[in-house]
Structure 1
Amino acid sequence: MEALFASGHAADIVLAALLLEALWLRLRGWKVADLLTMLLPAALIVVGLRAALVGADWPWISAPIALSFPVHIADVVRRRRSL
């Protein structure tokens, strides 16, 4: 288990699960834009986690995490408008 996390493969598994979820939802008729705003923040956070797990420099950890915030806000705005 330690090697799974130290190598970053644990994060890869989560990213694969997010991709499968996106494909499944797309097949069920979800729009690509809706999928992106919903799942991209999680994917970016996991990319930052993966960078931390493998010992990357701090910009590679913080950049995807910081980028997840505006995408999350876009999702919140999109959902608010649909009410």
Structure 2
Amino acid sequence: MSEFFTSGNAVVFILAVVGVEGAWLAYLGRWDLVRMLVPGAILLLAVHAALTGGPWWQVAAWLTASLPAHLYDLYRRFPDGRQSLTGSSGKR
């Protein structure tokens, strides 16, 4: 079982599950939820690179690539910038 994780195969399995989930959500037309999967999938690629002994710059590149994807997701989720994560409008 240890080899399954240290070889990166666990991450590949999780990425496959996320890919199937994304395809299913896209089929259902839930692009808002597909958009939420992208930053996590990119972070999984960084984990895979780290576990499989990839060069440091590859891990850093995946981590860096996840930031714009995450920021875009936040921008689309909270377009006016005032809504909090709890769902309130931020107005008193």
TM-score if structure 2 supplies the norm length? 0.78
Matching of residue 69 in structure 1 with residue 55 in structure 2: no
Gaps of 5+ in 2: 84-92
The residue aligned with 2:16 is 16
Gaps of 5+ in 1: none
Count residues with an aligned counterpart: 80
Structure label with greater radius of gyration: 2
In the alignment, the residues of structure 2 paired with residue 72 and residue 8 of structure 1 have an alpha-carbon distance, to the nearest angstrom, of: 23
Deviations 1:23-79 (A, max 9, x none): 111122223xx32x3111111100000011111110111111111011101000101
Moved segments of 4+, more than 4 Å: none
Deviations 1:8-31 (A, max 9, x none): 101001101110110111122223
Q: SS where residue 3 of structure 1 aligns?
A: helix
TM-score if structure 1 supplies the norm length? 0.86
Query: What are the within-5 Å matches in structure 2 for residues 1-83 of structure 1?
Result: 1-31=1-31, 34=32, 35=34, 37-81=35-79
Higher RCO (CA-CA < 8 Å; seq separation 6+): 1
Return the structure number with greater helix share. 1
In the alignment, the residues of structure 2 paired with residue 55 and residue 81 of structure 1 have an alpha-carbon distance, to the nearest angstrom, of: 39
